[in-house]
C-alpha cells in the first residue's frame, strides 16, 4: 500500500514525497482511514512507529475546509512534554506546507504573551501541554467549544506525570460530538477508564513495539562499578565508532554533572533535563541535530520521543528504573532502517531493573564482561532507603519535571564528581572536533535567541 492509495489530498502527497515517504507505516495504514471516517480511535503505538504522522496527516486534510475563530481552536493535541509538543508542531509544518492552516504551541517555560496573541488570531491546530492549557483556559483566554478534534498523545506517560485529572477536566470542556484519538504505548487501567469515559465507540488499533522488533539495534549490558562509570563511558566513546550519542541518566543532577565532566574532557556535549528552560533545551536539541555537539546527556522526561535522525549510539549511563523507559531510550537509535548500538551500564544495584527489562523485551541482553569490580564499600545505595523496586523508583523518576523537582530527594552524589581531581584527562576522544575549546564554556547555555518559528505559524506555501 502507498500513501496515494489511502485518499490523502494531492497537497499532502506532495509534502510526503518531498519528505521522502511514499509507504505508510502499519500504524499509519491502520489509523489514517479511520480518522478520515471520523471514527474515534485508541491506538497502542510507541514513538518510532510513525504514529505522529498517523494523526497529523488526516487532521491536515480534515481541517483544510473551515475557518478558525478568535480564541476558539478547531483542534487540540495534548502532549506530555514540551519537546514532544514541539516535535508534533514540526510535523505539522513539514506535512502541512501546502495547506493554509494556522497553528499555535502552548507549552510551559516560554512567555505566555505570544501564545495568547496567536490564540486571539484564531488557530486551526492547538498543540499544548496540559498544565499550560489549563492555565490559559482558567484565565479565559481559550474557548474549547469549537474544538472538533482532540488527540491525547502518549496517554500512559501523561498518567506517569500526573496529568490525567487535567485531561479529564479538559475533555469535559470540548463538545461531546468531537472526534477523539488516543495514543498510548501501553493501556494501564486508568487509561482504559479514561478511554471508556471520553471516547465513543472507538476503533482499537495495536501495532508492534518498535524496539523489541528492531533488529537494527545491537544491545549490550556493561558491568561497571558506580565509581568507574565516567571512565568506562569515555573509553567506549573512544573505542566505539560513535558519531553521535544520547546518554541517559536517571537524575537531573547526574545529567548536569556528567555533561560538565564530558566537556572538561574536551568532548562536545550538551544536556537536556526538566530544570533547563525551554529556549535552552531547544537550543541544545538543535545543536545536536545540526552536529554542533556530538553528545546529548538527557533525562527520560526531556528526551521522551525525541526524533533525531542518525543517532549512532545510546548509552544508559544509569540503567532505567522502568523497563518501558529502556525501550524508549534505545529507540532513539536504529531509526528509519539505520543501524544503532545501545550500551546500558549495570551496577550491582541495577540487577533487578535489568531482569524486568529482559522480561519485557523477551531476550537476554549480551553482557560485556566484568569491566570493573566494585571496590569494597563502593556501591552507593543509600543504606537507609534500601533497594527500591523499579516501580518505586519509577515514581521518583516522575519527579523529573520542573514543577516536582522541589520535592525530589537529594540525589546520590557520585564520588568522582565530589573529587574531580580523580579524573585523569585522556587524549581527546575521536568525536571531539580539533577546534573545540577544552573548557567549561564548550557548551554555552546562555541562549537569548528567539523561540522556534512554530510558536504561531501559518504554514501555507
Ligand atoms: P514517530 O513514531 O511519530 O515518532 O515517528 C518516527 C519516525 O518515523 C520519524 O522520524 C518520522 O519522520 C518517520 N516516519 C513517519 N512516517 C514514515 C513513513 N511513512 N515511512 C518512513 N518513516 C516515517
Range of the domain at 244: 217-368
pLDDT over 60 (residue 449): no
What is the distance in A from the centroid of ligand 1 to the CA of 75? 22
pLDDT at 314 (0 to 100): 96
Distance, in Å, from the CA atom of 456 to the CA atom of 81, rounded to the nearest integer, reads 18
| 206 vs 409 pLDDT, higher one | 206
The residue from 206, 233, 258 where one domain ends is 206
My answer on whether 241 and 311 are in the same domain is yes
My answer on whether 287 and 388 are in the same domain is no
In a domain, 233, yes or no: yes
In a domain, 358, yes or no: yes
pLDDT over 70 (residue 21): yes
Among 46, 336, 337, 338, name the best residue to mutate to test ligand 1's pocket (greatest count of ligand atoms within 8 A of Cβ).
336
All residues at 6 or more sequence positions from 225 whose CB lies less than 8 Å from its CB, including other chains: 347, 372, 373, 374, 375, 378, 379
Tens-place pLDDT, residues 78-93: 999 888 999 899 999 9
In a domain, 442, yes or no: yes
Provide the CATH number for the domain around residue 180: 3.40.50.300
For ligand 1, residues with CB inside 6 Å are: 21, 23-25, 28, 47-53, 305, 307, 335-336
My answer on whether 290 and 356 are in the same domain is yes
pLDDT at 402 (0 to 100): 33
My answer on whether 239 and 121 are in the same domain is no
pLDDT at 380 (0 to 100): 36
Per-residue pLDDT, averaged over 328-341, amounts to: 82
pLDDT at 398 (0 to 100): 36
My answer on whether 447 and 355 are in the same domain is no
In a domain, 420, yes or no: no
My answer on whether 344 and 445 are in the same domain is no
Neighbour order of strands in the sheet with 245-248: 269-272, 295-298, 245-248, 313-316, 340-346, 217-223, 366-370
pLDDT over 50 (residue 444): no
What is the distance in A from the centroid of ligand 1 to the CA of 332? 12
Tens-place pLDDT, residues 371-389: 444 444 443 333 333 333 3
My answer on whether 241 and 333 are in the same domain is yes
pLDDT at 56 (0 to 100): 98
My answer on whether 82 and 54 are in the same domain is yes
Q: Counting atoms of ligand 1 from 1, which one is nearest the CA of 28? A: 19
My answer on whether 266 and 342 are in the same domain is yes
In a domain, 243, yes or no: yes
My answer on whether 246 and 284 are in the same domain is yes
pLDDT at 212 (0 to 100): 54
pLDDT over 60 (residue 427): no
Atom 12 of ligand 1: nearest residue by CA position: 50
| 344 vs 117 pLDDT, higher one | 344
| 350 vs 46 pLDDT, higher one | 350
pLDDT over 80 (residue 160): yes
Distance, in Å, from the CA atom of 33 to the CA atom of 51, rounded to the nearest integer, reads 14
Among 25, 43, 86, 332, name the best residue to mutate to test ligand 1's pocket (greatest count of ligand atoms within 8 A of Cβ).
25
**Closest to 219 (Cα-Cα) out of 326, 372, 355, 347:** 326
In a domain, 257, yes or no: yes
pLDDT at 11 (0 to 100): 96
All residues at 6 or more sequence positions from 177 whose CB lies less than 8 Å from its CB, including other chains: 148
pLDDT over 90 (residue 368): no
My answer on whether 102 and 27 are in the same domain is yes
Report how many domains make up the chain.
3
Atom 13 of ligand 1: nearest residue by CA position: 50
Distance, in Å, from the CA atom of 439 to the CA atom of 444, rounded to the nearest integer, reads 10
Neighbour order of strands in the sheet with 179-184: 203-206, 41-44, 179-184, 149-152, 75-78, 125-128, 102-106, 456-458
Q: Is the dihedral of CA 99, 77, 308, 186 positive or negative?
A: negative
My answer on whether 191 and 45 are in the same domain is yes
Distance, in Å, from the CA atom of 147 to the CA atom of 62, rounded to the nearest integer, reads 13
Confidence of residue 121 (pLDDT cuts 50, 70, 90): very high
Q: Which of 154-158, 351-355, 430-434 has the lowest mean pLDDT?
A: 430-434
The residue from 161, 182, 206 where one domain ends is 206
- pLDDT over 90 for what percent of the chain? 56
In a domain, 120, yes or no: yes
Angle between helices 351-361 and 390-397 (to 10 degrees): 90
Tens-place pLDDT, residues 46-58: 777 889 999 999 9
pLDDT at 231 (0 to 100): 95
Amino acid at each position: 500500500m502507498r500513501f496515494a492509495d489511502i485518499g490523502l489530498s494531492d497537497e499532502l502527497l506532495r509534502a510526503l514525497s518531498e519528505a521522502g515517504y511514499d509507504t505508510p507505516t502499519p500504524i499509519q495504514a491502520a489509523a489514517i482511514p479511520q480518522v478520515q471516517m471520523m471514527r474515534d480511535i485508541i491506538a497502542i503505538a510507541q514513538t518510532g512507529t510513525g504514529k505522529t504522522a498517523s494523526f497529523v496527516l488526516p487532521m491536515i486534510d480534515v481541517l483544510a475546509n473551515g475557518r478558525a475563530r478568535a480564541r476558539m481552536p478547531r483542534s487540540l493535541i495534548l502532549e506530555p512534554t514540551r519537546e514532544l509538543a514541539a516535535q508534533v508542531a514540526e510535523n505539522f509544518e513539514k506535512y502541512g506546507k501546502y495547506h493554509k492552516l494556522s497553528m499555535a504551541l502552548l507549552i510551559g517555560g516560554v512567555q505566555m504573551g505570544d501564545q495568547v496573541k496567536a490564540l486571539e488570531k484564531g488557530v486551526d491546530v492547538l498543540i499544548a501541554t496540559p498544565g499550560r492549557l489549563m492555565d490559559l483556559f482558567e484565565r479565559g483566554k481559550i474557548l474549547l467549544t469549537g474544538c472538533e478534534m482532540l488527540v491525547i498523545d502518549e496517554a500512559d506517560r501523561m498518567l506517569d506525570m500526573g496529568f490525567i485529572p487535567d485531561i479529564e477536566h479538559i475533555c469535559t470542556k470540548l463538545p461531546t460530538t468531537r472526534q477523539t484519538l488516543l495514543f498510548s504505548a501501553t493501556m494501564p487501567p486508568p487509561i482504559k477508564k479514561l478511554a471508556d469515559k471520553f471516547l465513543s465507540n472507538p476503533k482499537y488499533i495495536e501495532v508492534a513495539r518498535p524496539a523489541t522488533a528492531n533488529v537494527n539495534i545491537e544491545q549490550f549490558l556493561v558491568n561497571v562499578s558506580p565509581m568507574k562509570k565516567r571512565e568506562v563511558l569515555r573509553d567506549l566513546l573512544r573505542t566505539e565508532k560513535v558519531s553521535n550519542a544520547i546518554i541517559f541518566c536517571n537524575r537531573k543532577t547526574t545529567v548536569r554533572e556528567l555533561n560538565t565532566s564530558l566537556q572538561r574532557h574536551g568532548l562536545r556535549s550538551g544536556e537536556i533535563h526538566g530544570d533547563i528552560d525551554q529556549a535552552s533545551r531547544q537550543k541544545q536539541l538543535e545543536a545536536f541535530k545540526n552536529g554542533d555537539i556530538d553528545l546529548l546527556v538527557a533525562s527520560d522526561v526531556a528526551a521522551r520521543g525525541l526524533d533525531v535522525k542518525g543517532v549512532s549510539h545510546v548509552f544508559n549511563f544509569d540503567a532505567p528504573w522502568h523497563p518501558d523507559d529502556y525501550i524508549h531510550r534505545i529507540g532513539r537509535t536504529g531509526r528509519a532502517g539505520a543501524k544503532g548500538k545501545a550500551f546500558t551500564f549495570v551496577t550491582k544495584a541495577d540487577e533487578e531493573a535489568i531482569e524486568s527489562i529482559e522480561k519485557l523485551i523477551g531476550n537476554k541482553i549480551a553482557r560485556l564482561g566484568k569491566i570493573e569490580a566494585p571496590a569494597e564499600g563502593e556501591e552507593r545505595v543509600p543504606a537507609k532507603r534500601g533497594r527500591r523496586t523499579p516501580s518505586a523508583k519509577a515514581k521518583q523518576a516522575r519527579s523529573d519535571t520542573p514543577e516536582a523537582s522541589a520535592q525530589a530527594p537529594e540525589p546520590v552524589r557520585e564520588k568522582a564528581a565530589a573529587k574531580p581531581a580523580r579524573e585523569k584527562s585522556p587524549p581527546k576522544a575521536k568525536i571531539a572536533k580539533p577546534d573545540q575549546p577544552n573548557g567549561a564554556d564548550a557548551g554555552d547555555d546562555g541562549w537569548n535567541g528567539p523561540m522556534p518559528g512554530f510558536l504561531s505559524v501559518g504554514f501555507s506555501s
